Structure formats: structure tokens, C-alpha cells
Structure 1
Amino acid sequence: MSRNDLSRDGSSQEESSRQESGPAQFGVRADDPHQRLEDLWPPFGLRIESPRLVLRQIRESDFPAYTAAITSGVTQTARNPFVTAWNEGEPEDLVRTALPWLWSQRATAGPEDWYLMLAVFLRDEDDADDGGSAGSREGQLIGMQDVHANSWTVLRTVGSGSWLRADRQGHGYGTEMRAAMLAWAFDHFGAQYAESAAFEWNARSLRVSASLGYREVGRRRTVDAHGEHAQEEVQLRLARREFVRPSWPTRVLGSERLQSFFCQGPL
């Protein structure tokens, strides 16, 4: 076992990032109306669990909770931290914009280009207290942790974006959900690099990235969310070997089947 195979607390990656067994290959039974949705569309079967959170692909049944989150407020800064002003406007405007976007990204489904929209749920308090079982129970939807890739088989690089309800910010959830996503990408899906970006004034986002090992690799001049003012964007990259792993374990379900669906071989 190499030094890079150890987590921060000295445990192996297999111990700190566990995956439960299940159907490993994507397959569809002919003329069977009783197959599960996650078997037919494996992105729905991916599930990542950390001590306080559950991350999984958003479904239409989550849209009411998603709408509640985006209309509750997601920005605590004087300036908009996103590349577009999707989070501004009346509730009706937010829904008209957000839901079609969720549907459109679902079509980016590999093998070279893919986009996963992972809803972030608080784990049920009773479930978190007893350590969870096969599939931890979900509480409130508090945000999103998206992860995506282009030219995957060549670059092996994931990009990400995220947001949290304003009333759930400041409790470490942003760091925890990104760390859980990275543990999945590096340990279960074969990523070698992760990239991110933030405006230079967005100190909170930059601190989260730095705490996980990201390094600045460049800057570019770009427009703000409203297209009205120039801003400096900090571009960040994280190599797998430099990932500052959390001390807690990450539990992953459904990753092998997703790899098969994306026409990837096992790691």
C-alpha cells in the first residue's frame, strides 16, 4: 500500500470510502414492466453518504423540495456568486428557469460527456445517530452538488458546482458535500483531477476549495452574473494524490452499475 492510499487518519481508501455490493452491470430485461427506474437509468442509482448528508441524483418527485430550497434564498453575499443570475427573481421565475434546466442536463449521459445533478439531503437525525443502514433515510433537501465531465476517457477530470440554502450555510455542509463527491470521483469512478472556479471576492468558496487541496492554476477576466461588470475568476485544480481526505468514511452505492452504463470498465 502506497502513502497515497492512506486517508488522513491512516485508514485505507477502501476503509474510508466504502461501497456496498449490488448489481454491477447495466442490463435491461426484455418485456418486463417491473424493473426499477434506477436499473433502467443508473444515474438514479448513485448514492453517496457522509456522516450528515446523502447525495443522490435528483428526481421529479424531489422537485417540490428543490423548489422550496431555491425559493428560500441561496445567497448571503452582496454580489451574486454564480455565473448567471438563476437564483434571482420571483418564485415563479425561478421555477420556470430551474426545472427545464434540470431536465436538459439529464440528457448528458456519457460515456465521454456526462452531468450528474446530485441533490443534497440532511440525513435523518435518528438514522445518523444509529450509524445508518442499507440506504440512509433522507431529511430536508438543502442544496445541490453537481459533478460533470467532458472527454472523460482522455482527461479523467471532473468539474463541479454547488449551492446551499442560506439558512444551512456556515455549518460545514458545503465542505462535507464536496468532500463526499470527490471521494466518490477519485476512489470509485477513476477521476485523476477535479476542477473548480470562483470569483476572487468569494472567500467562502475559495476556503472550501483550499481546505480540500485545490490549487490555483490561473485566472481569467469574465463578466458577472448579470453580464454588466468585469470580474476576476480564480481557476482551481485538485490532483487525486493531493486530495485532503476527510477523517470520516464515505459510503457509495450504485457506482459500478453507473460505470457499466457509461460503457466504462472496472477500475
Structure 2
Amino acid sequence: MPTTASPLSAYPPLNVQVHTPRLSLLGATDELLERLVPTVRKGVVTQPPWPFDDPMSLYEDSPEREWGWLQGVWRGRGRVSASHWRLYFVVVIDGEPVGMQDLIGTDFAKFGTVTTFSWLSPSVRGDGLGKEMRQAVLHLAFDGLAAREASSDAFFDNHPSNRVSQALGYVPNGVTWDTRRGESAEIKQWRLTREQWIKRRRNDIELVAVGDCLPVLGIDPPPLG
């Protein structure tokens, strides 16, 4: 199982790590984000399926796009409370950052629900890594945070993302709409309950420093004993 040593941060969310046999999810420190910039620079989308209209969609090759991406992560890291939080992870393979995997909770203490968001370098797509990183972050959600339910969504023609959801036991949960390149498009919504996750739970995923992060997210630690 891969391990990656890194200096401890005074801010617990940056110390959380998830390790699988193939990859690691590491808290998105500034050092890791800087190392990911060349991947962001190469990730300009030039053909369908088009992604969401936001800075992470990477439509244009420009410094402003890279600044917008960094600013978005910085803002998200700073806006953390019990009512809403977003944990940003850099996906690392053999010591190299290749993408991001986020975990989002809204009123988590009340509802126990999370949403995931991810992107991966085009150079490593198509090798099952999208499924592996989703399994890693779901293990954090259900095993580390005791989530009750996870959701995911993707545009109707984002077949890799939709296939990952289906393969991991999510069930269809309706449709919604969003824009890309200024035009509306249908989004498939997916839902995974804790009971469904347990049926496919893996025993080869390691969580690091989750307990110290719970108070920051407004989550009560599990009872002792």
C-alpha cells in the first residue's frame, strides 16, 4: 500500500490522506497544487463531452484560467464550517500528482450526506483510476466520517463518470440541468447508500489523520470503546 510522507500542517484537513494499492489522495497543500499546475495547463478541453461552466472546466489556455482554478481551491479550503465543507485532495500516483478528488458535505451532522467531484489528467485516463479514486474517497466518507449516503452526477454523455457510478453500486436518482459553454444540458444523478457501499467495501484502503479533522468539520468523534 503506497504511503507518502509530508510535513504536518497546523490545519487538520490538509493532513488527511487516503491510500489504496494504486494511488493516494493527499490533502491539497499549496505545494501539491503548484506541482499540479502543469497538469492543469495540459488539461484544456477541446472536444466533447464538454464539462461544467466553471474555472475547473479548463476551456481556455491562459494564465487567468490557472489563477481561477487556484483561487477556487483556496476559497473552498477557507470556507469550512459545520453547515458546509469541501475537502480537496490531490491524486498522486508514484509520487506524481495527476488530478483531484473532492468530498463535499452540506449540513453533514444533520443528514450524513456527501457529494464527490473529480478530474484526472487526460494522460492517465482509461486505466480504471477514476473508479479507484472514487472508491478511495467513498471509503473516507463512509468508514472515516460515518456518512449515510453519497451522491454523484455527470452530464448524460460523460460516459466514464456514469459508468464508475454504476459499477460502484450507485442507483439512478433522477435528472437535473446545468450549462456548459453557455448551453443547457441534462445531468444524470446517482445515489449510493451506506448499505449499498458495505456490499462492495474494500479492506485494502488506509485512512490517515481523519480523527483530528472531525472537529473542523463539525463532526462528533465516535464513542470510545
Same fold flag (TM > 0.5): yes
Aligned to 1:261: 216
Q: Quick one: structure 1 residues 253 and 192, their matched pair in 2 at CA, closer, same or farther if it must change by over 3 Å? A: same
Post-superposition Cα deviations, 1:87-136, rounded to whole Å, max 9, x if no partner, equal 111241321211111110011222221111111000x3xxxxxxxxxxxx
The 8 Å contact of residues 44 and 60 in structure 2, kept in 1 or not, is answered as: no
The 8 Å contact of residues 192 and 240 in structure 1, kept in 2 or not, is answered as: yes
Q: 2:29 aligns with which of 52, 59, 79?
A: 59
- One-letter amino acid matched to 1:103: W
Q: Secondary structure at the match of 2:162?
A: helix
d(CA) in 1 for partners of 2:77, 2:155? 27
- One-letter amino acid matched to 1:209: S
d(CA) in 2 for partners of 1:65, 1:156? 33
Report the number of matched residues: 214
Q: Give the TM-score of the pair, scaled to structure 1.
A: 0.75
Matched, 1:108 2:79: yes
- One-letter amino acid matched to 1:217: N
- One-letter amino acid matched to 2:143: D
- One-letter amino acid matched to 1:258: C
d(CA) in 2 for partners of 1:245, 1:199? 25
Q: Which runs of 5+ in 2 are unaligned?
A: 1-6
Aligned to 1:89: 60
Matched, 1:147 2:103: yes
d(CA) in 1 for partners of 2:165, 2:47? 18
Q: How does 1:102-181 map to 2 (within 5 A)?
A: 102-122=73-93, 124=94, 139-181=95-137
d(CA) in 2 for partners of 1:235, 1:74? 25
Once the 2 structures are TM-superposed, how far is the Cα of residue 204 of structure 1 from its aligned partner?
1.1
d(CA) in 2 for partners of 1:106, 1:222? 24
- One-letter amino acid matched to 1:48: V
The 8 Å contact of residues 33 and 90 in structure 2, kept in 1 or not, is answered as: no
Aligned to 1:46: 16
Q: Quick one: structure 1 residues 67 and 186, their matched pair in 2 at CA, closer, same or farther if it must change by over 3 Å? A: same
d(CA) in 2 for partners of 1:195, 1:62? 27
Runs of 4+ in 1 over 4 A off after TM superposition: 74-77
Matched, 1:189 2:150: no
Q: Quick one: structure 1 residues 74 and 169, their matched pair in 2 at CA, closer, same or farther if it must change by over 3 Å? A: farther
d(CA) in 2 for partners of 1:68, 1:219? 34
Aligned to 2:3: none
Q: 2:185 aligns with which of 231, 235, 241?
A: 231
Aligned to 2:4: none
Q: Quick one: structure 1 residues 75 and 49, their matched pair in 2 at CA, closer, same or farther if it must change by over 3 Å? A: farther
Q: 1:210 aligns with which of 162, 166, 170?
A: 166
Post-superposition Cα deviations, 1:149-182, rounded to whole Å, max 9, x if no partner, equal 1111111101111000001000111100000100
The 8 Å contact of residues 219 and 232 in structure 1, kept in 2 or not, is answered as: yes
Once the 2 structures are TM-superposed, how far is the Cα of residue 247 of structure 1 from its aligned partner?
4.5
- One-letter amino acid matched to 1:239: T
d(CA) in 2 for partners of 1:222, 1:45? 33
State the structure with bigger RCO (CA 8 A, min sep 6), 1 or 2: 1
d(CA) in 2 for partners of 1:109, 1:117? 11
d(CA) in 2 for partners of 1:76, 1:55? 27
The 8 Å contact of residues 65 and 141 in structure 1, kept in 2 or not, is answered as: yes
d(CA) in 2 for partners of 1:263, 1:197? 25
The 8 Å contact of residues 74 and 163 in structure 1, kept in 2 or not, is answered as: no
The 8 Å contact of residues 82 and 217 in structure 2, kept in 1 or not, is answered as: yes
Bigger Cα displacement from structure 2, 169-178 vs 79-88: 79-88
Q: Give the TM-score of the pair, scaled to structure 2.
A: 0.88
- Give the % identical residues: 29
